[in-house]
Amino acid sequence: MSEMTIGQYYPADSFVHKLDPRTKIMLTLLYILFIFMVKSVVGYAVAFLFLVMAIMFSKIPVKYIIKGLKPVAFIVTLTIVINILWTKGGNLLFSIGFIKVYAEGVVVAAKMGVRLMLLVSTTSIMTLSTSTIDLTDGMEMLMRKVPFLKNSAHDISMMMSIALRFIPTLQEETDRIMKAQKSRGADFDSGNIVQKAKAMLPILVPLFVSAFQRAGELAMAMEARCYRGGEGRTKMKVLKYTKRDAVAYVIGFLFFAVMVGSGYIGLPF
């Protein structure tokens, strides 16, 4: 349960940590755009270099980034397998029965795998180096600039921050309930799938009961303090760009422009 990295903040004093959350979100989006436009090996190398740089400047231990990859390992593997099996073209490398593996397939699969891992890693850096409050604050400010999101920006970010805020609480709660039921002899590890699913009931029921209770109490507490949504609401901590952000933006966009200009990346058609 405590293995999850997304939504977990890794405290450190670093260049990346001090960046404005808006900068981090924008650059992460730019990076994602970048890796889906990569056309050649050089492009991947540059993308990888960027990742390494970001990790170094964030002072986050690499093992935290790797831990963040674990939950998506299954999806990455599935993507790779599907791409290998479904892509036809190039030389036939080998075939086992009806399964035929082509050179093209291996290349496409490798590309997809690398892209997904780069994507998850950068997103992890963003969430690990930004507290959830800053993250949702940044998203709200950015969404306000988007015409069709403008009016619901506050609500969306409030929902997100509440959801993120309750992830650790719910994890703790699950852990507590699990321990209590284990102490009553509950067995979550053995048996077939049906038995295992049934064994989850003593955890899920109390978990839902307390989650609903919490939600009700939170709503009450917010209303008691006259929460009325985003209208007319001011911020205690106003986000401010600094020189650091300018540096990060310039480096990010410059690299992007140079790569597009030199043809290493471009639209995939």
| Interaction site with other proteins (CB under 8 A) | 10-11, 173, 176-177, 179-187, 201-202, 205-206, 209-210
* AA letter at 130: T
Packing angle between helix 103-129 and helix 21-37, nearest 10 degrees?
A: 180
CB of 171 to other proteins, least distance (A): 14
Comparing CB distances to other proteins, the nearer of 128 and 259 is 128
CB of 138 to other proteins, least distance (A): 24
Classify 40 as helix, strand or coil: coil
Classify 38 as helix, strand or coil: strand
CB of 61 to other proteins, least distance (A): 8
The residues, any chain, with a CB within 8 Å of residue 173's CB and separated by 6 or more, are 207, 210, 211
Cβ–Cβ < 8 Å for 170, 211: yes
Comparing CB distances to other proteins, the nearer of 187 and 223 is 187
Comparing CB distances to other proteins, the nearer of 11 and 97 is 11
Comparing CB distances to other proteins, the nearer of 132 and 181 is 181
The residues, any chain, with a CB within 8 Å of residue 190's CB and separated by 6 or more, are none
Classify 93 as helix, strand or coil: strand
d(CA 132, CA 163): 10
Comparing CB distances to other proteins, the nearer of 72 and 186 is 186
CB of 22 to other proteins, least distance (A): 27
Cβ–Cβ < 8 Å for 38, 267: no
CB of 32 to other proteins, least distance (A): 28
